[in-house]
Amino acid sequence: MKTALIVNPGARRNRGGMLEKLKTTARNARMDVFEITDFAALGDTLGQILDLAPELLIISGGDGTVHGILSHLGEDQRFTAAMPLLALFPHGTTNVTAKDISLKSPHPRLLKRIAHLAESKTLHEHTHTRHSLRVENLVNLPPQHGFIFGAGAVSQATRKVQTDSNAKGWTGNAAVGKMLLGDILRKISGRDPSLGGMLTPQPMHMKARSGQIFDGKTLTIIATTLNRLVLGARPFWNQGNHPLHITRVGDFRDRFLTSLYRIFYGDKSKLPAEIFQSFSDEGFDLKLDSDIVIDGEFYPARNSAPLKVTLGPEFRFLRL
């Protein structure tokens, strides 16, 4: 099986000796290796890979790397016409996507197992499909593809993790937990209650494809095609037959800690329906005047042009 490996050398787990070990293992398994030296030229790098017509493309990086690559694969007809099987190594600071839909181990030796499965023609036994989500009408940008869309508190929390916790050496779930705990304590203790850090609602107007409309102060909106998010959270209920899971949380203050736990892990039936909504749909339009986040990358949104969030292509992934 023709296989290519594309590596983000700046990803956290690729620093030091791990990067050379990964590339050496790949070349020993007769895989073509490419490095992302400039994300602005990522389309050109992927074009070189496409010229080789690989049946399997292995991506080494974090959520942001996967997001960048899928944004090209999902929009360029050259790729959609001959889409390879994808495998995602969890080599970044955050790896929610890889751990939910692809490779759970970051170790380079997994390449040997992949090569063995390909040689024995049993790789197909470990594959599945998953839609990306597609976001249009971002300011001065083409449509973007990813797996987790966040507005409001989710976007603010992600930025805070990246600027504060990650800079101090906290990564992954530990960074999110530390940051979330700090803002919750400020919220419930009354310190800076008008701001509440990331837990501050803001005006948003959301219209789902099914016709549902939500207008007013909104704490957060999350949309994803994944089953689990950071910290193993599953903030979804009332799910129908559509792969796109959507959750909206309005402005609330009563029983704050209890409600927050229920959103992520608990009994959703006890959440007031006028404040907490969750459903599956084909997509939605969203008006807001602040940044949104897609797989850890930030994009400006403006009220003048509502964002359109829909299902992207259905990609095939190797899961081991």
DSSP notation for 99-164: HHHS-----TTHHHHHHHHHHTT-GGGGEEEEEEEEEE--TT---EEESEEEEEHHHHHHHHIIII
Label residue 193 by pLDDT band (50, 70, 90): very low
The per-residue pLDDT for 194 is: 45
**Alpha carbon distance 37, 241 (integer Å):** 41
The total domain count for the chain is 2
Residues 120 and 51 grouped into a single domain:
yes
Residues 72 and 108 grouped into a single domain:
yes
> Residue 241 domain-assigned?
yes
Could you tell me if 270 and 285 are in contact, meaning their C-beta atoms sit under 8 angstroms apart? no
The per-residue pLDDT for 152 is: 92
Residues 168 and 267 grouped into a single domain:
yes
Amino acid at position 284, single letter: F
Residues 117 and 160 grouped into a single domain:
no
pLDDT above 80 (res 191): no
Residues 118 and 65 grouped into a single domain:
yes
Q: What angle do CA 19, 23, 29 make, to 5 degrees?
A: 150
- The enclosing H or E element of 278 equals strand 276-281
What's the mean pLDDT in 204-208?
98
The per-residue pLDDT for 195 is: 46
pLDDT above 70 (res 262): yes
CATH, residue 63: 3.40.50.10330
For 64, the domain range is 3-131
- What does the mean pLDDT of the chain come to? 89
> Residue 159 domain-assigned?
yes
What's the mean pLDDT in 87-101?
96
The per-residue pLDDT for 240 is: 86
The per-residue pLDDT for 157 is: 78
> Residue 308 domain-assigned?
no
What's the mean pLDDT in 16-32?
96
Residues 77 and 169 grouped into a single domain:
no
Residues 192 and 245 grouped into a single domain:
yes
307-319 confidence digits (pLDDT tens) = 999 999 999 999 9
State percent of the chain over pLDDT 70.
Answer: 89
Q: Which of 146-150, 223-227, 302-306 has the lowest mean pLDDT?
A: 302-306
Residues 290 and 162 grouped into a single domain:
yes
Label residue 303 by pLDDT band (50, 70, 90): confident
DSSP state, residue 206 = E
Residues 154 and 69 grouped into a single domain:
no
What's the mean pLDDT in 251-278?
86
131-173 confidence digits (pLDDT tens) = 999 999 999 999 999 999 999 988 887 887 777 644 555 444 4
The per-residue pLDDT for 200 is: 81
> Residue 314 domain-assigned?
no
State percent of the chain over pLDDT 90.
Answer: 71
DSSP state, residue 269 = G
CATH, residue 234: 2.60.200
Q: In terms of pLDDT, which residue wins out, 158 or 90? A: 90
The per-residue pLDDT for 170 is: 45
> Residue 246 domain-assigned?
yes
